[in-house]
Chains A and B, each alone.
Chain A
Amino acid sequence: MIRLSQNDISGLLLGITQKLDISDSLYIAAEQKYKAVGEWLSGDNSPFAILSPTIYPQGSFQFGTIVKPLTDTDDYDLDIVFEVMLSKDEITQEALKNSVGKRLKDHGIYKNLLDKEGRRCWTLQYADSARFHMDILPAIPGEDVIPLLLSMNVPESLAKTSISITDKTLSNYSRINLQWPLSNPKGYSAWFRNRMLIQFENLRRIIATERKSSLGEVPEYTIKTPLQRCIQLLKRHRDIQFAEELEIKPASIIITTLAANAYNNEADLLKALVSITDKMPNYIINRNGVSWVSNPTDPRENFADRWQEDPQKLPAFKNWHQQFKTEIGDLLNCEDLDEAKEKLILMFGENVSENVIDEFKSSHKEHNQKGQIGIISSHPTVEIQDPMKPWGEELY
């Protein structure tokens, strides 16, 4: 029997998240594919070539919170934005959407991958072996909303990347009109990065030191902070809990936003997880009786707006969160590896958990054979003289 310390449990959870990561080769393949789409949409023969087109990823691929799908038949979801320099008085939502669609249909391969038109996106469904699909979101700059966002205390650095997107269900879809739906993937991504900046920079240094390379040479997708790891664990647990009830599954953007708000740059995964799990519901606020998960780049947007439409969704979220909290508590009380294995399988699935437990066992064996090597610390002793008594402000 192997007795477990909190460090061991932290290590097991870290192991699980590594199993949930997208593989390097798949990541690189995905990156190449979206860049190729970008080149086709922006290339010399393209009608967009003169409109300073840019293409960039958004969503979990961009945040580094991607989680391996539950089964081998499920896809990874790669969300990208295609943004061109046009203004709302020059083009309708429909014309923008259709011209992107047309350009995709002009390509020998993409025309066969193209799925049925989505509400806001075009989707390329790659072959099964590639294991992902790509949602392409046509967009134009949304700079006219910047003054409004600034007046709502959104920092300028976040507000300035706002974009306008299309929605074919809207009544003004086919008319020149200034009321386009808004989004701000770059701003959100910057906010998210900022929430974990300290640990991100720490890890970048650690990896650079290990690889004996410069900071700039460390690929950002290889840096995974405890926040990103916690979100992976939460999402995986959700995927399992709602495998049979997809229609009420809590949205990734809600989990990501609540967790990032609750994160306090803890360095240890388990500490981060316990604290995030505790605090994340505090960021669901009540606005005039509506449960509200605020978009940090646009306080007018409620990420949880669908909780209004379907009264089952909020209780589903609450129950899932409570379940996760309870199970983490149970995991912390596990005394030996077999007990922990059972709990991990329940929370994160059989395959990943068994792999991690096996690896843990073999490394444990190795460790015991080598014996513990004490670390001798060389720093001098601080002689404390005339110490201060700690004081505290009254926190109102």
Chain B
Amino acid sequence: MNLPFFLRDQYNEIKEIYPGLYPPINISDFWVISGLLDFTAKYQGISIKDKYQIEILIPITNPLHIPFAREIGGRIPMDFHHSTEGLCLGEPGRVIQKFNEEPTLLGFINNCLIPYLYNFSYKEKFGYLIFGELSHGTTGLLEYYQELFGIKDRKRILQLLGLCINSHLNGQIRCPCGSKKKLRKCHGILLNGLISGVPREIIKAEYDLINNGNKSHKFSPR
């Protein structure tokens, strides 16, 4: 199978910076880039230099999809933020937003993967996660939206998410957050950001999960 041109170009871009990563090879349903990711990253003045054995998987049938990442050196334990596909870099909708800011392999590595690894290295060094973490499963989704919207109440969060799923936002209604302001002067801007950045079916899936806490539903938004 031939490597798509854009993937070849994107690989050429990353290999200049991360020469430990080998060219994509075809393994079953994925293009797989693997090797040593040797990086230096800095956050709030603290610089960490580290390296991880990683794999980046790009689905062949949908190469524009966000890649999956795995750590294969045996350093990050399975109970540290993993999904069935690999490392769980963040809340699914947020990962898509983040990725779309710079939707290339290099962008993925720099904006999504390295911060995750930095967080882990930081914990190894200093004993805690500098970026914090979300709980697993539905609880973590709720925590994410609580933080994003700045409100605690589950029902109100569901009402806000519900607005994103339905047709279009009416800025004139009262904001469901309870502020008594009009939506457009309150959470409207945030909701517009969600609607434009995150596929509707993902918001819908998360809405359903938070709504019924349905644990038997296998959540695979990506």
Contact = CB atoms under 8 A, between A and B. Distances in A.
B17 A379 contact: yes
A216 interface: no
A389 B40 contact: no
A388 interface: yes
A383 interface: yes
Interface in A337-380: 377, 379-380
A272 B73 CA distance: 9
Given A201-B25, A393-B219, A379 B88 contact: no
A201 B23 CA distance: 10
Contacts of B116: 388, 390
A382 B144 contact: no
Interface string A265-297: 111100110110000000000000000000000
> Chain B CB within 10 Å — which of A202, A382, A395, A396 has the most?
A382
B83 to A, nearest CB: 4
A384 B115 contact: yes
Contact of A395 (B55, B82, B129): B82
Contacts of B134: 389-392
Interface string B49-60: 100010100000
Nearest to A388: B90
Nearest to A267: B53
B136 A384 contact: no
A392 B136 contact: yes
A264 interface: yes
Interface residues of A, number: 31
A201 B42 CA distance: 33
Contact of B81 (A202, A265, A272, A390): A390
Contact of A384 (B17, B18, B83, B118): B118
Nearest to B118: A384
Interface residues on B, range: 35 or more
A265 B53 CA distance: 10
Given A383-B42, A393-B84, A394-B136, A388 B131 contact: yes
B133 A390 contact: yes
A381 interface: yes
A5 B135 CA distance: 36
Interface in A250-264: 264
Contacts of A395: 82-84
A386 to B, nearest CB: 8
By DSSP majority rule, is chain A's interface helix, strand, loop, or mixed? loop
A387 interface: yes
Contacts of A392: 81-83, 88, 134, 136-137, 140
Contacts of A380: 17, 40
Given A387-B115, A393-B84, A381 B136 contact: no
Contact of A381 (B41, B95, B219): B41
A383 B110 CA distance: 9
Interface string B27-56: 100001011101111110001010001010
A120 interface: no
Given A201-B22, A395-B82, A382 B39 contact: yes
B140 to A, nearest CB: 5
Nearest to A200: B25
B140 A381 contact: no
B120 to A, nearest CB: 8
A274 B74 CA distance: 10
Contact of A197 (B27, B119, B129): B27
Contacts of B189: none
Interface string A175-215: 00000000000000000000001100110010000000000
A275 B74 CA distance: 8
Contacts of B144: 389, 391
B112 to A, nearest CB: 7
A390 B89 contact: yes
A383 to B, nearest CB: 6
B215 to A, nearest CB: 7
Contacts of A274: 74
A377 B37 CA distance: 12
A392 B18 CA distance: 27
> Chain B CB within 10 Å — which of A201, A272, A379 has the most?
A379
A198 B33 CA distance: 9
Contacts of B219: 393
Interface in B105-146: 110, 112, 114-116, 118-119, 129, 131-138, 140-141, 144
A6 to B, nearest CB: 12
B208 interface: no
Given A197-B25, A382-B110, A392-B81, 7 more contacts: A198-B55, A266-B72, A389-B91, A389-B133, A390-B90, A391-B141, A393-B219
Q: Closest 6 A-B residue pairs measured CB to CB?
A: A388-B90, A394-B137, A390-B81, A392-B136, A391-B134, A271-B74
Interface of B: 17-18, 22-23, 25, 27, 32, 34-36, 38-43, 47, 49, 53, 55, 72-74, 80-84, 87-92, 94-95, 98, 110, 112, 114-116, 118-119, 129, 131-138, 140-141, 144, 215, 218-220
25 contacts: A197-B27, A198-B72, A201-B22, A201-B25, A265-B72, A266-B72, A266-B73, A377-B38, A381-B41, A383-B41, A384-B41, A388-B94, A389-B91, A389-B133, A390-B89, A390-B90, A390-B119, A390-B131, A390-B133, A391-B136, A392-B140, A394-B136, A394-B138, A394-B215, A395-B82
